[in-house]
Amino acid sequence: VHAWSDVDLHLAFEGGTDPTWMQEVVKDETARLSERLAGHAEKYPDVKVRTVVVMDQPTHGLREEAENAQLLVVGSRGRGGFTSLLLGSTSRALMHSVNCPLLIVR
């Protein structure tokens, strides 16, 4: 799952009622996810991966997808300014709210 919610507001207003601006953002974010996953399918052919790209709060998007997941894997730190914390806000929130196994990695 690649979820984001930090699209610049000016993009939304420039787009007006034309949804093509959002399609471009989704296209760019899908490409970003594909780049991150490149080579892993060949390296781990037995691991089934389904990619999901959503414009949503990461915690909400991940929690929703975790409802049908066998395992949810997230990073231990996000992009916030509290780099000294052990867990980021997303992994901490998911730790208390998902019903599937959760693996938090650095």
For the stretch 24-79, pLDDT in tens is: 888 999 999 999 999 988 899 998 888 889 888 889 989 998 998 889 999 887 55
Write out 36-103 in H/E/C secondary structure: HHCCHHHHCCCCCCCCCEEECCHHHHHHHHHCCCCCEEEECCCCCCCCCCCCCHHHHHHHCCCCCCEE
The CATH number assigned to the domain holding 90 equals: 3.40.50.620
Whether residues 67 and 25 share a domain: the answer is: no
**pLDDT for the residue numbered 12:** 57
**pLDDT for the residue numbered 56:** 83
Task: Report residue 4's pLDDT band, with 50, 70 and 90 as the boundaries.
Answer: confident
Please check the confidence at residue 82 and state whether its pLDDT lies above 80: no
Whether residues 66 and 45 share a domain: the answer is: no
pTM: 0.68
State the residue range of the domain holding 92.
57-106
Whether residues 2 and 51 share a domain: the answer is: yes
**pLDDT for the residue numbered 10:** 54
